[in-house]
Structure 1
């Protein structure tokens, strides 16, 4: 006698169809690209790239950081960060100087022009560019929690040989 299966049982056996829209990592990746497009006009108006902007914001949180500490904060390697800092220095927004206590270290600080730029309410324009309105804080907290969980999980794993 042949075995008959219910439609629910058949559905469990059938492999799920892979769809990009089901991948959280793709949603985050494509959102990052969309952020770039949304932020570009706002940042272009003040002559900054997004990476330059977040470097300034990180310095506003803790001024006179070393280049290596700033790179860790921004998840950027020194060879990526250095040209960004040079451009910001040429624009008059930051100052780079050797650490008198350790000449091998370069410390970075905001100039008054850099502080004025950040005080110009640029972050409100960027927040508005997201189009989230009142949902912004909730989405920001959720994404920050996702990031923190991913960092914790990837840093806790032993290195594979």
Structure 2
């Protein structure tokens, strides 16, 4: 089998290219790509249990906790136990984390421009990638 015929390699190369394009944009915000993803969840949903952030990002607790601790140390997020359930840790934005959203609005636009996909191609790529993710996850 040829390397260029491997879908997994095409996905890997595309993922690396997109992540590399994110790097300078996120460096300007003082974020890593995984930290940016956590903030996207918080910007969308507000105060969220760590477990739900993990489910949304498909990350385990052991990977997620250090990311959130770094966001907390940077003054962008805070963790607190839910008063009615001490086992649940909620993550929420600080004022600074909320304000960062305004500066981050240029990121998806720049990435979209770099991808150069029409709206139809973007929707189709999303559909295919979501199907692929679900099928592979279900198979093993």
- Structure having the larger proportion of residues in helix: 2
Q: Which has the larger radius of gyration?
A: 1
Matches within 5 A, 1:10-159: 18-120=1-103, 122-129=104-111, 131-133=114-116, 135=117, 137-157=119-139
Find the aligned partners of 2:97 and 2:48 in 1 and give their Cα distance: 15
The 1:55–1:137 alpha-carbon spacing in structure 2 relative to 1, beyond 3 Å, is farther
Find the aligned partners of 1:115 and 1:136 in 2 and give their Cα distance: 30
Unmatched tracts of structure 2, length 5 or more: none
Please give the root-mean-square deviation of Cα atoms over the aligned residues, in Å. Answer: 2.0
Deviation at 1:156, TM superposition (A): 4.4
Q: Alignment length, in residue pairs?
A: 139
Query: Could you tell me the TM-score, scaled by structure 2's length?
Result: 0.87
Q: Secondary structure at the match of 1:104?
A: strand
Q: Secondary structure at the match of 1:95?
A: strand
Q: Which structure ranks higher in relative contact order (CA pairs < 8 Å, sequence separation ≥ 6)?
A: 2
Find the aligned partners of 1:90 and 1:118 in 2 and give their Cα distance: 18
